A and B are shown apart, each in its own frame.
Chain A
Amino acid sequence: MNVGSIVKYYRMKNNLTQAELCEGICSISHLSKIESNKYVPHEETLDELFARMNVEWNQELDVYHTYREKLEKFITYSVYYDLKSMEVLYEELEQKKDYLQSTDLVNRYELYKLRFYLIQQDRQKATQQMQILSRLDQTFDEYERGAAKVFYFIYYVFVQEEAKAREIAGRLEDRNGRVPQLFEGEFYYQNAWLMQRNTEYGQSSYFAELAINQFQKDCNYLRLMHAQMLQAVNFANRDLFLQAEELFKTLLRNARLMDEASLYEGVLYNYSMLQNRRGHHNSAYMLLKELKSLMTPEEPLYTSVLIHMLQTASEEGLEMDHLLEELEVLARGKDDPYIAIQLTYFRKKKFSQHDLFDYCEQIAFPFLKEHGYIGEARRFAWRLANYHRSIGNFEKADAYAIYFYEKGEKMT
């Protein structure tokens, strides 16, 4: 512990010059060396200096150790995703900012604040913190270097600077700055998250499995569920349907037991997509129905859920009128051509096949193709190809089939 920094902190706090503080105790140059941590003073000298400032040294040691422990608690909350406790402790540490920044606890304080801002998804504060840390990192010890690299990795994933993120991930296997054991699970999780965002499901699976094993070992149950959710989506997208379903069922149970409403809704949504991919439309419909009952129309995902319900109901031949009415009400409030197209498509589906396919060909398919809804465009291309084949338009059928293949996705 750098006691000199603490002497300086209290001297500044008491508005004393070096001459005023050291008079009768030691020379000014001696005090200067103490304050810059170049010299460790005798205990008697320290006692006298602190006594002049009405500071009890033993109590001061206690304060130092207390805040050192609070900092470790702070980062442990982030590891276990205890966000509420982290917020409360953040406010407390902010109150003691001046003290922390005057001690050798400053490195960890500033590092852990970066992690906090990343969890809060506060891009501005996280970026500012990166600048502060770039000035401090020459003084990092081995643990702090390792922790910094993990947090920098999370930062670059967050701001979508992938090249930098991957560069850091590669360097983390070096001897300089290995991942501290506390952050191992998190490091694997962030890798899995990054790969999944890039639809690299195989690679994401590898890291998600490492994260799951680490979180299980650490009894880190909340983060374990996050990693399992990632893994379930990876399995679903790799057509490992049974493995995906097993994980989704586990997640539904545990998210409900742990009162994780947002996670529970996410699992319902992803599980319903899996069931639709497998052709289990009835099961998908029930999952979407439950999800819709938990949401309000103002939520961004609500429209997607409604449209998926319509698509599912149409596959299974279920009642759609009440859903159409609800989508009409939503469409009036928003100026979204995608919703308008979906609405027209489902309305036409009730009436003429010929009208419907005309609409798909003239309006819906070109719109979806142009605006990057490639998955849906392929579904329309498939139906249009079959429709044209059934009425003998083989040239058009082949054209749509070529589009379907060229986009190259597995579809069930």
Chain B
Amino acid sequence: MKRKWYVAFLAVLFLAFVGAGNASAAIQVNDEMSTFAKGNENLHPPDVMPPQ
């Protein structure tokens, strides 16, 4: 009986872990991507640059 409760507890923990993974797939800002646009792609409005 104790063993069954223990396995059930581990299963719940596992499912909670997986569940947390799913929750984090909701729309969030992705902090790992970097800005590295080249060419015409205007990733954000251009800054005003000082004179060359």
- Taking the closest CB of chain A, its distance from the CB of B10, in whole angstroms, is 32
Main SS at interface, chain B = loop
Which residues of chain A in 355-412 are interfacial with respect to chain B, using CB atoms and an 8 Å cutoff? 372-376, 378, 382, 385-386, 389, 397, 401, 404-405, 407-412
Q: Tell me if A273 and B27 are in contact (CB < 8 A).
A: no
- Could you say which residues of chain A place their CB within 8 Å of the CB of B48? 265-266, 269-270, 301
Q: Is B24 an interface residue (CB 8 A)?
A: no
Q: Pick the contact of A375: B36, B43, B52 (CB < 8 A).
A: B43
- Could you say which residues of chain B place their CB within 8 Å of the CB of A193? 49-50, 52
Q: Tell me if B29 and A411 are in contact (CB < 8 A).
A: yes
- Could you say which residues of chain A place their CB within 8 Å of the CB of B40? 372
Asked if A410 meets B45 with Cβ closer than 8 Å, knowing A193-B52, A401-B27, the reply is no
Q: Tell me if A157 and B41 are in contact (CB < 8 A).
A: no
Residues of B in contact with A, size category: 20 to 34
**Counting chain A CB atoms within 10 Å of each CB, which of B31, B37, B44, B45 scores highest?**
B44
Nearest neighbor of B52 in chain A, beta-carbon distance: A193
- Taking the closest CB of chain A, its distance from the CB of B1, in whole angstroms, is 42
Q: Tell me if A158 and B29 are in contact (CB < 8 A).
A: no
Number of A-B contacts (CB under 8 A): 87
- Could you say which residues of chain A place their CB within 8 Å of the CB of B30? 405, 408, 410
Q: Interface 1/0s, chain A 151-170, versus B by CB < 8 A?
A: 00010011000000000000
- Could you say which residues of chain B place their CB within 8 Å of the CB of A226? 50-51
A200 to B35, CA, bound (A): 8
Main SS at interface, chain A = helix
Please, could you name 30 A-B residue pairs with CB atoms under 8 Å apart, sorted by A? A157-B52, A190-B52, A193-B49, A193-B52, A197-B49, A199-B43, A225-B50, A229-B49, A230-B49, A236-B47, A237-B44, A237-B47, A265-B48, A270-B48, A273-B45, A308-B45, A372-B40, A372-B41, A373-B42, A374-B42, A375-B42, A375-B43, A378-B43, A382-B27, A385-B27, A401-B27, A408-B34, A408-B35, A409-B33, A411-B29
